[in-house]
Chains A and B, each alone.
Chain A
């Protein structure tokens, strides 16, 4: 079944003086999809997101959100968007509860739904304990969460998050990533980041932007399949005889990383982990670590960004 296309933006342009910040980016987002926008600093990710949320108008291009033209009917279209900008848009002199209630009103929620919507968003973002505290007195992480709560408050079909995990501690980062995954099941999410592993964990599809242009776009599944050798990272209690590993047909190369850890490049044969374990068992190597490593996204990213940097 074809899923609804919630965001359809084509050929967006925006200049800042001489600087062509967004030069023909197109974005397509289906229901229940998490799209990661990747790019180095100043690539135009934030500008693209500002355009998608109606904060700035594109010089040219078209945007439809849930079938509504954002430029023709911004008020209707914005009802379907939840947006967390780079800097969480929180009033430091309000409490979390006051702030979220205000946001709910801004989004036109009816007063009888406001309390439950605020409760729900606070629960989801782990804000229940700090509801009565002033936002200005909260840590950066909690301010960030308040910003996310504000973005999902009105249950928008499209959630747009600009670097949502900046300034959070590792536990919070995990919680937020889980939250984004969860959101991805019933909403559609666009998030920008420059943390590559984050994209792998939460995104279905990735779009790399440099210097205002899309230079790469693919689903993560296809990406893993088509680019780069699959790699396993293995660690043992003591050094092993790498010759024995190399006898396996599927293995292309074994790289020693020192301290009995090895990087194993292979040809992508299925059940490789199992084969490796069985070999280790028969040879009586004590495994301490076995991690699949797909460095493909990273290498693509570096290649593309590097190339662009040279041609510019």
Chain B
């Protein structure tokens, strides 16, 4: 058990010993900062004057905060594969995976350790992203409940990205291949959502399968246990697949 945590902590620390984590955090913060700025300006100059006096007008939390989290989710489609690609593919390429394989630890410890390391990074990213919408609290009053639900939604969405990316990484020898394949998988799930919502022959089942549909209800401040269960099943499913893949790897085929 403690081995799992030391793997997680080392994974987390190692991300910061290369410029990768720093540049991802910097670029992400810059892009989302710009988006946030545009949204806030739009709210002040357009939306607020128009909706003034309306009953039940959409507040800053709906128009700005939810949009920031939605954008964060979209950008992460491209960012998470870069973070997860290293997990197994890079270790294989550098021959360091032997170290883990020869140590007296179980495959479950290895996979969960790496996953926890990614989760730590995800939490850090979400905290940094959340500082922007929360800074609005200085000037106005926010719907904290909605923000918390958005934060939870983003964490769950990214955690599901990480689990899928981890699995793809376990299939691959080369980090780049892992990154491209995970990006493809994540994008495919978004496409499912779009096709499910399409006006001509949309189907609710596609919307249900896609991870994005479940994320959107969190952004609206809706906490449905069905969505939570969806993400948990998604994550557990991919983690189990990863464990099995790594476990079976040493066997004679």
Specify the chain B residue showing the minimal Cβ separation from A151.
B102
* Min CB gap B20→A, angstroms: 10
Question: Hey, what's the 0/1 contact readout for B90-107 against A, CB within 8 Å counting as 1?
Answer: 000011111111111110
Residues of chain A within 8 A of B2, CB atoms compared: 105
- Residues of chain A from 29 to 83 with CB closer than 8 A to chain B in the complex: 53-59, 74-79, 81, 83
CA of A88 to CA of B94, assembled, Å: 9
Q: Identify A93's interface contact among B7, B18, B101, B106, CB under 8 A.
A: B18
A312 within 8 Å of B by Cβ?
Answer: no
CB–CB A57/B252 < 8 A: yes
CB–CB A78/B103 < 8 A: yes
Q: Identify B103's interface contact among A14, A76, A85, A106, CB under 8 A.
A: A106
B17 within 8 Å of A by Cβ?
Answer: yes
Q: A56-B250, A94-B14, A106-B6 known; A89 and B95 CB under 8 Å?
A: yes
CA of A55 to CA of B97, assembled, Å: 9
Specify the chain A residue showing the minimal Cβ separation from B2.
A105
CA of A107 to CA of B100, assembled, Å: 9
Residues of chain A within 8 A of B101, CB atoms compared: 53-55
CB–CB B106/A75 < 8 A: yes
CB–CB B102/A54 < 8 A: yes
B3 within 8 Å of A by Cβ?
Answer: yes
Q: Identify B96's interface contact among A55, A90, A107, CB under 8 A.
A: A90
Residues of chain B within 8 A of A199, CB atoms compared: none
- Number of residues on chain B facing chain A (CB within 8 A): 24
Residues of chain B within 8 A of A54, CB atoms compared: 101-102, 250
Q: Identify A106's interface contact among B14, B17, B18, B100, CB under 8 A.
A: B100
Residues of chain B within 8 A of A91, CB atoms compared: 14, 94, 96
Residues of chain B within 8 A of A85, CB atoms compared: 95, 98, 102
Residues of chain A within 8 A of B96, CB atoms compared: 89-91
* Min CB gap B18→A, angstroms: 6
CB–CB B14/A93 < 8 A: yes
Residues of chain A within 8 A of B99, CB atoms compared: 89, 103, 106, 150
Residues of chain A within 8 A of B7, CB atoms compared: 106
CA of A88 to CA of B104, assembled, Å: 18
B10 within 8 Å of A by Cβ?
Answer: yes
* Min CB gap A145→B, angstroms: 15
Q: B interface, by DSSP: helix, strand, loop or mixed?
A: helix
Question: Hey, what's the 0/1 contact readout for A84-106 against B, CB within 8 Å counting as 1?
Answer: 01111111111000000011011
CA of A85 to CA of B95, assembled, Å: 8
A197 within 8 Å of B by Cβ?
Answer: no
CA of A79 to CA of B105, assembled, Å: 9
Residues of chain A within 8 A of B104, CB atoms compared: 74-79, 106-108
CA of A94 to CA of B94, assembled, Å: 14
B52 within 8 Å of A by Cβ?
Answer: no
CB–CB B102/A92 < 8 A: no
CB–CB A55/B102 < 8 A: yes
CB–CB A102/B10 < 8 A: yes
CA of A184 to CA of B95, assembled, Å: 26
Specify the chain B residue showing the minimal Cβ separation from A78.
B104
Specify the chain A residue showing the minimal Cβ separation from B100.
A106
Residues of chain A within 8 A of B131, CB atoms compared: none
Residues of chain B within 8 A of A55, CB atoms compared: 98, 101-102, 250
CB–CB B98/A75 < 8 A: no
CA of A76 to CA of B2, assembled, Å: 17
A15 within 8 Å of B by Cβ?
Answer: yes
Question: Hey, what's the 0/1 contact readout for A105-126 against B, CB within 8 Å counting as 1?
Answer: 1111000000000000000000
CA of A76 to CA of B17, assembled, Å: 33
- Residues of chain B from 1 to 51 with CB closer than 8 A to chain A in the complex: 2-3, 6-7, 10, 14, 17-18
Residues of chain A within 8 A of B103, CB atoms compared: 78, 103, 106-107
B251 within 8 Å of A by Cβ?
Answer: yes
- Residues of chain B from 167 to 191 with CB closer than 8 A to chain A in the complex: none
CB–CB A93/B17 < 8 A: yes
CB–CB A58/B102 < 8 A: no
CB–CB B98/A89 < 8 A: yes
Question: Hey, what's the 0/1 contact readout for B213-253 against A, CB within 8 Å counting as 1?
Answer: 00000000000000000000000000000000000001110
Residues of chain A within 8 A of B98, CB atoms compared: 55, 83, 85, 87, 89
Residues of chain B within 8 A of A87, CB atoms compared: 94-95, 98
Specify the chain B residue showing the minimal Cβ separation from A13.
B252
CB–CB A58/B252 < 8 A: yes
CB–CB A105/B102 < 8 A: no
Specify the chain B residue showing the minimal Cβ separation from A79.
B104
* Min CB gap B102→A, angstroms: 4
Specify the chain A residue showing the minimal Cβ separation from B7.
A106
Q: Which 7 A-B pairs have the closest CB atoms?
A: A87-B95, A89-B99, A59-B252, A106-B103, A78-B104, A105-B6, A93-B17
A-B contact pairs, 16 of them (CB 8 A): A54-B101, A55-B102, A56-B250, A56-B252, A77-B104, A81-B102, A86-B95, A87-B94, A93-B14, A93-B17, A93-B18, A94-B17, A106-B100, A106-B105, A108-B104, A108-B105
